[in-house]
Amino acid sequence: ASDKKELTQVAVPKPSSEPAIFIPVDRTPEIQVARLKLPILAEEQVIMEAVTENPVVVLCGETGSGKTTQVPQFLYEAGYASNGGIIGITEPRRVAAVSMSQRVAKEMNLSSWVVSYQIRYEGNVTSETKIKFMTDGVLLKEIQKDFLLTKYKVILIDEAHERSVYTDILIGLLSRIVPLREKKKTPMRLIIMSATLRVEDFTQNKRLFPVPPPVIKVDARQFPVTIHFNKRTPLDDYTGEAFRKICKIHRMLPSGGILVFLTGQAEVHSLCRRLRKAFPFRPNSKVEEKQESEEEMKTFKKAKQKKKMTLPKIDLSNYSAMPVDEGDEDREAGIDDEEEQLGSDVDLDLGDDDGAKEDEKSEPSLPLYVLPLYSLLAPEKQAKVFRPPPNGTRLCVVATNVAETSLTIPNIKYVVDCGRVKKRLYDKVTGVSSFKVTWTSQASANQRAGRAGRTEPGHCYRLFSSAVFGDFETFSPAEITRRPVDDLVLQMKDLNIEKVINFPFPTPPSIEVLIAAEELLISLGALAAPPKQGRLKELERAKLSCPVTSLGRAMACFPVAPRYAKMLALSKQHSCLPFVITIVAAMTVRELFEEFDRPVISEEQKMKLKGKRARVVQMQRIWAGQGPSLKLGDLMVMLGAVGACEYAGCTPKFCEENGLRYKAMVEIRRLRGQLTTAVNSVCSDVGLFVDPKMKPPTEVQLTYLRQIVMAGLGDRIARRIRPEEMLDDKWKNAYKTPLLDDPVFIHPSSVLFKQLPDFIVYQEIVETSKMYMKGVSAIEPEWIPVLIPQYCHFGKPLQNPSPSFCPETGRVKCQRESTYYRTGWQLPSVET
Ligand code: ADP
Ligand code: MG
């Protein structure tokens, strides 16, 4: 049997081995039976031998083979959690950390005191904890406190194939930590677990592991899956196409569950609704159905909020239709008219639905038991997909890509794949971000197809042609290559990794992105600037090894983006901390207010909504206030909203009445607590405590607040275009920013929308029908050269008034001209 296992032999010096002990686990008979069916059980000995003999092991197994739920149990039984040691498992998704800890606790018959989880805001870890599931970000924070992770005997990096940024960084760090622990004679094991087979980035990367770690492959019992491609590729309405395909499967094909892959919550719920209407199934309890539809409405609203921000060109009444990717039209060219399919199961090929309208209210056939599945769905609801469907129904799970590898649904025979995925994209230069639906990769399309062959041969219906599939990327690129890395660079510098460029990234980010991050951190004062001479290339190389400053170290302690961390670090001096903590928390949580543009069914609802919107706008005006208060703009609204909400006891009722998102308010409260703790640990002399109820800031504090915000967002300043500068009408009421050539505008939801201050600072630009700035505050131009000189060019001292001598500093003070970097905006002259 052992010839099946591909255990690459390596010449790692035999590490000090673990005591051979066995800790018994008391499992129920049902669990025992279920476990024995998992392919990984047959490999327990191979895995455990590899782990005993090698400090690092890579474990590859098909999704559903039992990696996440079983390997921690093997380790526990082998004594890796005895003598005070902890088994740590990292997950890229919060839901996975929570639900897997619960599942493992249940399987092992242990309490959540022992098998626990920790995610950003919450956890149930105790001093008794032996198995700890956590998000990858949580473990990274722990490395900052204790580089050697002394309390862990073994770390499992789960879902490594997802290539989340923190997972990548953790693997890089652990590749150094493991040998250090070996040296200290307190060995720690590292197990990298992955679903797909692209593990070369980990194993063949000499900088990461000079000796390639052994790779253990777990064969899952996988049955053949016949792939059916569409002849044509629907360019936008793939939800409709999915609907028609499911109808056909359900009417024409033998029993077996259906799993559908879409891109987001709103789509999932829209398709669920349509399917339930077409194939009604009345659950026994009406209550359940009501809850479902309420939940649907909630996520629908939420999804709409997000969509509003990012994909506004879509007709909102038809929000499931995504914009057509550029180039799709071209891809369609040259596709022959033959039915395309792989495999030979002609009978089961359903063909394309050439515009054929499936009647939504046709003959009800066998009921379809429709369940949604996406990562933010409440765990109890998620658990439903694991249970068998009610008798006489067919299961149909409509999912986002959580069902691709994180969760395995039993008894799926048919997969319907839209071939798309929703991704957050960043503009490399401007940092403007947007959510876009793009084609997925070949690897993930194949993963999705594989879900159909878990229990018997299956079928995968791809809602795109094989030609389109041929153009997919082979693998989805690692996240680290797709986003800004300023936060990561700061964390690494704080770990004394000065030359970030030498860090053993599994896939390194591009040099431009690293330089951009280093530049931002230098201008925030988190890194010491390099000497200003030398040729450009040398300078750039030098820049990539700038050491962290003490300000940078303080900033690294705050669990927020470096720009916001800078604001926190500055605010100690002016007793503005409680306000800045609140503003930063609100900016991090985003979208405090509900969205009002949702479609409404009745006239009555329309009136109600209109009334509510008017009330919310009025409240926002009240919170923004007048004069110095209004100048703080949208950030003052945030302060006012949080303050008012806390005075009212932060109740769902208050939020509902004032159009605030209750969930956002609760998260802000948590983050305020967390930031307060962080501030106290950085500056022990402050002794801050969270008083949810804040007094409003004084006039002086309001000015400081605007200055602090500006200091953090120094490159996000915009200047109003004066009438005489207007090139044409498109510049009416427009602003100019340093990085964008096009006009940008204050978002209509801003309280400064009509005020149009000359200089403003903004939190972010989102691109919808126009470029809109959100989170806007007014600033004074004379602050710029004084507070953010790093963004300014200074001219020669002015002749008049003549230079004067400053007795306190011994320096010559003189008036100098200054301009704002990159734009050449003339600013008031300053004394330097
Ligand atoms: P892998 O990590 O290799 O993808 P898992 O350990 O997550 O596999 O899953 C192993 C099995 O446990 C799967 O068949 C899955 O359906 C089952 N499973 C996981 N979570 C639950 C749960 N909450 N309830 C019932 N079964 C579950
Ligand atoms: Mg898993």
The predicted complex's ipTM stands at: 0.98
pLDDT of residue 603: 79
- pLDDT of residue 204 exceeding 80: yes
What average pLDDT score do residues 712-724 get?
Answer: 90
Percent of the chain with pLDDT over 70: 79
Q: How confident is the model at residue 365 (pLDDT cuts 50, 70, 90)?
A: low
Task: State whether the beta carbon of 68 lies less than 6 angstroms from ligand 1.
Answer: yes
> Best substitution site from 93, 386, 407, 411 to test ligand 1's pocket, by max atoms within 8 Å of Cβ?
386
What average pLDDT score do residues 549-573 get?
Answer: 88
Nearest Cα neighbor of 135 from 147, 146, 155, 120 is: 120
Burial class (CB in 10 A: 0-12, 13-18, 19+), 427: middle
pLDDT of residue 43: 92
- The highest-confidence range among 317-326, 489-498, 566-575, by mean pLDDT, is 489-498
User: Atom of ligand 1 at shortest distance to CA of 158?
Assistant: 2
Total Cβ atoms within 10 A of residue 644:
17
pLDDT of residue 333: 23
- The residue contributing the CA closest to ligand 1 atom 27 is 386
pLDDT of residue 513: 85
Average pLDDT, the chain: 81
Task: State whether the beta carbon of 38 lies less than 6 angstroms from ligand 1.
Answer: yes
- pLDDT of residue 3 exceeding 50: no
- Range with the poorest average pLDDT among 53-57, 76-80, 285-289, 398-402: 285-289
- pLDDT of residue 289 exceeding 50: no
Nearest Cα neighbor of 41 from 62, 20, 71, 82 is: 71
What average pLDDT score do residues 280-285 get?
Answer: 64
- pLDDT of residue 631 exceeding 50: yes
Residues 707, 778: Cα–Cα separation, whole Å: 10
- Range with the poorest average pLDDT among 324-333, 435-444, 576-585: 324-333
pLDDT of residue 424: 74
Helix (H, G, I), strand (E, B) or coil at 35: helix
Helix (H, G, I), strand (E, B) or coil at 701: helix
DSSP-assigned beta bridge partners for residue 395: 369
What average pLDDT score do residues 798-805 get?
Answer: 58
Separation of 193 CA from ligand 2 center, angstroms?
A: 8
pLDDT of residue 77: 95
Task: State whether the beta carbon of 386 lies less than 6 angstroms from ligand 1.
Answer: yes
pLDDT of residue 816: 73
Separation of 408 CA from ligand 2 center, angstroms?
A: 8
Maximum separation of any 2 CA atoms in the chain, in Å: 94
- The residue contributing the CA closest to ligand 1 atom 13 is 64
Total Cβ atoms within 10 A of residue 640:
21
pLDDT of residue 597: 55
What average pLDDT score do residues 421-445 get?
Answer: 77
Q: How confident is the model at residue 98 (pLDDT cuts 50, 70, 90)?
A: confident
DSSP class per residue in 97-131: HHHHHHHHHHHHT--TTTEEEE-SS-B---TT--E
Q: How confident is the model at residue 9 (pLDDT cuts 50, 70, 90)?
A: very low
pLDDT of residue 807: 59
User: Atom of ligand 1 at shortest distance to CA of 410?
Assistant: 16
Separation of 159 CA from ligand 1 center, angstroms?
A: 13
pLDDT of residue 768: 75
Q: Which two tokens stand for residue 713?
A: 């967002």
pLDDT of residue 326: 22
Residues 400, 406, 412, 415: is their CA dihedral positive or negative? positive
DSSP state, 527?
Answer: B
Strand ranges, E, within 297-444: 368-373, 394-399, 412-417, 420-426, 433-439
pLDDT of residue 780: 93
Q: Which two tokens stand for residue 792?
A: 């300014």
**Helix 562-570 and helix 577-589: axis angle, to 10°?**
170
- pLDDT of residue 742 exceeding 80: yes
pLDDT of residue 813: 60
pLDDT of residue 327: 24
Task: State whether the beta carbon of 655 lies less than 6 angstroms from ligand 1.
Answer: no
- pLDDT of residue 181 exceeding 70: yes
What average pLDDT score do residues 219-229 get?
Answer: 86
pLDDT of residue 311: 25
What average pLDDT score do residues 516-521 get?
Answer: 88
Percent of the chain with pLDDT over 90: 41
Q: Extract long-range pairs of 673-677: CB within 8 Å, 24+ residues apart.
A: 674/121, 674/559, 675/558, 675/559, 675/560, 675/568, 675/581, 675/584, 675/585, 676/581
Rounded to a whole number of angstroms, the distance between the first and last alpha carbons of the chain is: 78
Q: Are 497 and 144 in contact (CB under 8 A)?
A: no
Q: How far is CA 740 from its chain centroid? A: 26
126 vs 599, more confident: 126
- Range with the poorest average pLDDT among 320-329, 403-412, 564-573: 320-329
Task: Specify the amino acid at residue 566.
Answer: K
Separation of 64 CA from ligand 1 center, angstroms?
A: 6
Residues 38, 66: Cα–Cα separation, whole Å: 6
- pLDDT of residue 342 exceeding 70: no
What average pLDDT score do residues 735-753 get?
Answer: 90
User: Atom of ligand 1 at shortest distance to CA of 100?
Assistant: 20
Q: Are 298 and 289 in contact (CB under 8 A)?
A: no
pLDDT of residue 301: 53
Q: Are 676 and 619 in contact (CB under 8 A)?
A: no
Total Cβ atoms within 10 A of residue 806:
10
Beta-sheet pairing, 152-157 with 225-229:
unpaired
Closest ligand to the CA of 107: 1
Task: State whether the beta carbon of 382 lies less than 6 angstroms from ligand 1.
Answer: no
Q: How far is CA 191 from its chain centroid? A: 24
> Best substitution site from 27, 30, 65, 69 to test ligand 1's pocket, by max atoms within 8 Å of Cβ?
69
- pLDDT of residue 728 exceeding 70: yes
Q: Are 637 and 624 in contact (CB under 8 A)?
A: yes
What average pLDDT score do residues 672-686 get?
Answer: 78
Reported as half-sphere exposure (CB side, CA atoms, 13 A), residue 374 has a value of: 21
Q: Are 214 and 443 in contact (CB under 8 A)?
A: no
- The highest-confidence range among 258-262, 430-434, 487-491, by mean pLDDT, is 258-262
DSSP state, 694?
Answer: P
Q: How far is CA 353 from its chain centroid? A: 36
pLDDT of residue 134: 96
pLDDT of residue 310: 29
What average pLDDT score do residues 238-248 get?
Answer: 93
Beta-sheet pairing, 458-462 with 225-229:
parallel
DSSP-assigned beta bridge partners for residue 63: none
Label residue 775 left, alpha or beta by phi (over 0 means left) and psi (-120 to 50 means alpha). Answer: left
Nearest Cα neighbor of 92 from 132, 124, 65, 119 is: 119
> Best substitution site from 41, 95, 103, 397 to test ligand 1's pocket, by max atoms within 8 Å of Cβ?
103
User: Atom of ligand 1 at shortest distance to CA of 405?
Assistant: 4
- The highest-confidence range among 99-108, 658-667, 817-826, by mean pLDDT, is 99-108
CA distances to 152, 193, 612, 614, 796 from 130, in Å: 9, 20, 50, 53, 65
Specify the residue for token string 């008012």.
Answer: 644
Write a three-state SS string for 537-551.
Answer: HHHHHHHCCCCECHH
